[in-house]
Amino acid sequence: MTITAAVDGSALGNPGPGGWAWVVDAGCWDAGGWPRATNNLGELTAVLELLRATAAAGRADEPLHVLADSQYAINVITKWRHGWRKRGWQKADKKPIANLETIQAIDREIAGRAVTFEWVRGHAGHPLNEMADDRARGAAEAIQAGRPAPSGPGFSGARSLAPSPIGDGSGSDGLADGGDGRDRDDRSALVLAAEKRFLRAWIAGDERGLADLAAPGSRRGWPDGTVREGLAGPAPAAPRIGRIAAAPAGPGTWLTTYTMRWEGGASLESSVWAPADADGSAAPPAPEDGGPRLLWHQSTLRR
Amino acid sequence: MTITAAVDGSALGNPGPGGWAWVVDAGCWDAGGWPRATNNLGELTAVLELLRATAAAGRADEPLHVLADSQYAINVITKWRHGWRKRGWQKADKKPIANLETIQAIDREIAGRAVTFEWVRGHAGHPLNEMADDRARGAAEAIQAGRPAPSGPGFSGARSLAPSPIGDGSGSDGLADGGDGRDRDDRSALVLAAEKRFLRAWIAGDERGLADLAAPGSRRGWPDGTVREGLAGPAPAAPRIGRIAAAPAGPGTWLTTYTMRWEGGASLESSVWAPADADGSAAPPAPEDGGPRLLWHQSTLRR
RNA sequence: UGACACCGUUUUUG
DNA sequence: CAAAAACGGTGTCA
């Protein structure tokens, strides 16, 4: 069955607090945002997240029809992207392409999929577009007010585990970023933030979040001694994380270690983070955010 | 006293309907345009017209400071022009110089004058530059809409002879353009504007301005019954112009008639205007503006 | 290769 | 009504 979804972005003040949203129907949507973004980044991200959500739900083989009111986003994806890729991701005027990382992420995500776009005039009463508009703006407004952006249900079947306290960023779990104090080293702070992102995604069963963080060829050593490709797998309920130590392991590479406790158990965890651009493959991974990528993670039960 | 003025050009669609403007202050400016022009012709013409207006006002000996946002125009006038003249008006690559006639006109007009240029970034909030921008674009839009470009008051002392009400565009002399009412025929309006330009140039003794309006082989019948080539010649002081009537005289050709009065006399005046491209000569005149050209003008004393 | 200008289009805001 | 974020193009020169 063809999936039809509306996407929209919003940026209060442009640039300013921003949000994105995709909507399939009243019970199937998602949204998110940032403290500072442009309108066009919102529009693009909405498409990217829709692509990922459908893929994570195992529905990448179904045709996807996207309703968008941004001619910019539609042109980027259906037209300009191809010329840019041919020219080595350069614009006609040689000036840098805006929102490049998100565009490249879409470029990878959309490969081999059947996606069509339809332009709908903004604020013209189209119900799905209105809903996406509301959600995107709601996300931006939430973030402007200092609250986390309300995320939607997504596709049913995208994650199977119960929500964990780590996922809501409330700070009670020791995983909160920023705010009170800054980490003592700017570069290690980047790795610490990435580790926390990884933990939240893993515990929430957020496969696309994990994929964002994974280095090409990433693997994991599980508590049972097995190794599997990828980062996804079962997580304990309501874990508590000890202090995370980050140690440099070479230019751009970091090792993190910490302990984890949960009802009935504890473990030692370690991760190896590699720089985003640290592979010599012909097609660079060009990660969406330029941050470090998780190459290896290992868990050992404590007893 | 140093005269400071901003200049700007505009071309809708580039090339397309175009305009030029110079602004000294809110009460001292001028503007004009063509049905088809390039942005750079507009920028250059604005400078040329400023040079002519200051000269016609008898202020050629005062230093002139020009604010321009076009590096092209500034470089043409302050740098490249000299090299081109030395090399017989040829570029280094031997390809033809663009806008050559206007550049040579500036080259002649600027000789012996103290003119300095200052580059101001476009659309950066510089008040004088913004004003010139508005005027130039307004002229281009007027012409696109089929109206004559609204011309400004120019300099208050714009003729070496006794000041005439024709020059100041106040409307009391019947030479004011635009503003309150539009001329009832769009094409005749173009001819009327040209006729007014001709009158201003003649009365001001502006030979260059007259040459711009002259068709190849233009002649004039003077009140004494003689005929001479060209359009320049003695003008009465402080003439007053009656209503100008424009009548179509063939495809693109117009006849205008009106009366003129001055202290101690009156006359009947008539002009024949031909389309700019209406000659089969081998070397086309390539008139600066593409507007109609004055082929014949005749004066008869009234008595 | 660079620079400036001139436009066209859509969206997003205030 | 005015502005920002984005893209495409032309006009010009060294």
For chain B, give the percent of residues with pLDDT over 90: 40
Complex ipTM > 0.90 = no
B207 is in an annotated binding site: no
Q: Report which residue is nearest nucleotide D4 when distances run from CA to C1'.
A: A14
Set A32, A33, A42, A69: catalytic member: A69
Report the nucleotide nearest the CA of residue A38, measured to C1'.
D5
A177 is in an annotated binding site: no
B61 is in an annotated binding site: no
B102 contacts B40 by C-beta, under 8 angstroms: no
CA angle B255, B101, B234 (to 5 degrees): 50
Per-residue pLDDT tens listing for chain A (303 residues) = 899 999 999 999 888 888 999 999 999 999 988 888 889 999 999 999 999 999 999 999 999 999 999 989 998 998 888 878 877 787 877 778 888 888 989 999 999 999 999 888 887 778 889 899 999 999 998 888 877 777 888 888 654 333 333 333 323 333 433 332 233 345 677 788 889 889 888 887 777 778 878 887 788 877 777 777 888 888 887 788 888 877 776 667 788 888 888 777 788 888 888 876 544 332 333 334 556 888 888 888 776
* pLDDT of the residue at B38: 93
* pLDDT of the residue at A277: 57
In Å, what is the separation between the CA of A211 and the C1' of D5? 29
Report the nucleotide nearest the CA of residue A37, measured to C1'.
D5
* pLDDT of the residue at B84: 94
Pick from A135, A143, A151, A142: nearest CA to A8: A135
* pLDDT of the residue at B184: 32
Q: Report which residue is nearest nucleotide D12 when distances run from CA to C1'.
A: B72
Structure confidence by residue, pLDDT tens digits, B265-274: 788 888 888 8
Enter the tokens of residue A206: 């957020």
Cβ of A71 near strand C (under 7 Å)? The reply is: yes
Residues 6+ apart with CB under 8 A from B80: none
Q: Which residues of B are catalytic?
A: 8-9, 43, 69, 123, 133
* pLDDT of the residue at A286: 36
* pLDDT of the residue at B179: 33
Whole-prediction pTM value?
0.54
A130 is in an annotated binding site: no
In Å, what is the separation between the CA of B13 and the C1' of C8? 7
Low-confidence ranges of chain B (pLDDT < 50): 159-186, 278-289
Distance of CA B196 to the CA centre of its chain: 10
Task: Kindly tell me the sign of the dihedral angle through the C-alpha atoms of B146, B33, B17, B22.
Answer: negative
* pLDDT of the residue at A232: 84
Question: What is the spatial distance between Cα A136 and Cα A17, in angstroms, rounded to a whole number?
Answer: 11
Torsion, Cα B20 B26 B28 B29, to 10 degrees, reads: 10
